[in-house]
Structure 1
Amino acid sequence: MKTVILSTLAATAPLLTAATLIDPSAITGHHQGDSLSGSGSILTTTNKAGITQTGGADSPVTWTHNSAWQNDWQGNQLSGATNSKLGWAVIDFGSTQTQLGEMLLWNVNEGSHSGRGMNAFNIYFATSPSVSAPAISATPTDYDFSSGGWTQLGATRNLTRADESGVNALDGSFDLSSIASAQYIGIEILSTHGENDRAGFAEVVFTAVPEPSSISLLGLGSLTLLLRRKRR
């Protein structure tokens, strides 16, 4: 059984209110994947292709992802890249976001090729990068997150290997709530789960931090309900 450890925010907020999603407007990466814009493209990582919304559209932590290669991204690995990265992705929200909550990730889950899935990685954020990320290409292309405007969020993370089933559960949830504002999120892939030809992931979803007033009202409602139960 897969265990995903959520941050304190992720562990408490969904109990109080349904998740609000922040949908990216664009994504680019070190390699297009199996096509530029069709099956197996990096574009499939933000369009919910392959996702089954188990638990409902407002409960992404319960969603599952299938094992079809057409619905995940496996980019040809980089060689000799900055920071020894194997790949990267940059997500653009289209405008500055000030209420980022969690970044949810499902890993590469194609049959026996889950070893191509992302393992160790760094998270970066920016509002106005000094150098724009390259456009999606059929040629593996490096991008340097130290080129200016980017800030690394905490230490290196790890993403769990997918279970190679058609109902792969969430592989990792990462807290972004300490980011005051950002338009771009960068993912720098440092290692995979064993296969050395490709590197990527299947799906990325972003949630927003609930408004404090909403949390307070819902918390008050929960307290009232508990008091009523005690009186009974």
Structure 2
Amino acid sequence: MFRMFVSSVIVATAIAAASAASATVITPVGVTASSEWGIWGPTHYRGINVINGSGLEAGLHDGDFNNMWLTWEGTSATLDFDLGADYQLTGINIWNYNSDIELERGAQDFVLSVSLDGVGYSQILAGSLSMGTGGLIPAESFALDGLARYVRLDILNNHGGAWVGLSEVNFTAVPEPAALPLLGAGVGLLGLSLRRRRA
């Protein structure tokens, strides 16, 4: 009976470990844009729109420009994200600028760099984005492998037009910061239980 119990606990621990190791979506707690339009209202084309979920539903982003970010000037820009804690990043999801007013404003080529202190950054990705459609669009996802608290997205150019923008950005990471201590405590209690039983 006890062996069955131990086996069950081991299986449960393995499931918990697998769950802790599965990727989870990370929404940044802050973002700073090198430029933002923002002259028509407190949220219109602001940088915050790329992390607040506005216009995003069931993984698809709409074509309403009020839910997007756009530069005040220029076709290159930088977005600095604060993840709120250190994460082992496994991916980034980017929804490009998607207003049919001028789809060419969408970002095209970009580089991504990570940092633990917000000062020194290391590049871990270079990529390109497709132009939006003006309808509901899914994210374009890119694999990452880097430990970071801060992430810098440097947009190098757009698909045409005088400005550049995005709709939404989030990240995936594994494990969550609190997952490993909890998992370690569970394994420790299991070991203690087995040791007491043998004694």
| Pair 41,70 (structure 1): closer, same or farther in 2 beyond 3 Å | same
- Kept in 1, the 8 Å contact 2:100–2:133? The answer is no
Pick the structure with more helix per residue.
Answer: 2
How far residue 160 of structure 1 moved from its aligned partner, in angstroms, is 1.1
Matched residue type, 1:207 = T
- Kept in 2, the 8 Å contact 1:107–1:114? The answer is no
Q: Look up the match of 2:9.
A: none
How far residue 33 of structure 1 moved from its aligned partner, in angstroms, is 2.6
Q: Look up the match of 1:34.
A: 38
Matched residue type, 2:129 = L
| Identical residues among aligned pairs (%) | 26
Q: Supply the distance in 2 between the matched residues of 1:40 and 1:152 (Cα, whole angstroms).
A: 27
Q: Supply the distance in 1 between the matched residues of 2:111 and 2:69 (Cα, whole angstroms).
A: 18
Pick the structure with more strand per residue.
Answer: 2
How far residue 77 of structure 1 moved from its aligned partner, in angstroms, is 3.2
Q: Supply the distance in 1 between the matched residues of 2:131 and 2:175 (Cα, whole angstroms).
A: 30
Matched residue type, 1:113 = E
Which residue, out of 140, 160, 168, partners 1:194? 160
Count of aligned pairs: 158
Q: Look up the match of 2:95.
A: 106
- Residue by residue, what CA displacement relative to the aligned partner does 1:97-122 show, whole Å, maximum 9, x if unpaired? 2x212100001111131111100011
**Structure 1: runs of 5 or more not aligned:** 1-15, 54-62, 79-84, 131-148, 214-232
Which residue, out of 129, 132, 144, partners 1:162? 132
- Residue by residue, what CA displacement relative to the aligned partner does 1:33-66 show, whole Å, maximum 9, x if unpaired? 335741221101101100011xxxxxxxxx1110
- Kept in 2, the 8 Å contact 1:77–1:198? The answer is yes
- Residue by residue, what CA displacement relative to the aligned partner does 1:140-180 show, whole Å, maximum 9, x if unpaired? xxxxxxxxx111114x3101111121x1222x11112x21x
Q: Look up the match of 2:123.
A: 152
Matched residue type, 1:193 = H
Is residue 47 of structure 1 aligned with residue 13 of structure 2?
Answer: no
Matched residue type, 1:168 = I
Matched residue type, 1:150 = Y
Q: Which has the larger radius of gyration?
A: 2
**CA RMSD for the aligned pairs?**
2.4
Matched residue type, 2:52 = N
TM-score in terms of structure 2 length: 0.72
TM-score in terms of structure 1 length: 0.62
SS at match of 1:44: helix
Matched residue type, 1:153 = I
Q: Look up the match of 1:125.
A: 114
- Kept in 1, the 8 Å contact 2:23–2:90? The answer is no
Greater Cα offset, 201-210 or 20-29:
201-210
How far residue 210 of structure 1 moved from its aligned partner, in angstroms, is 5.6
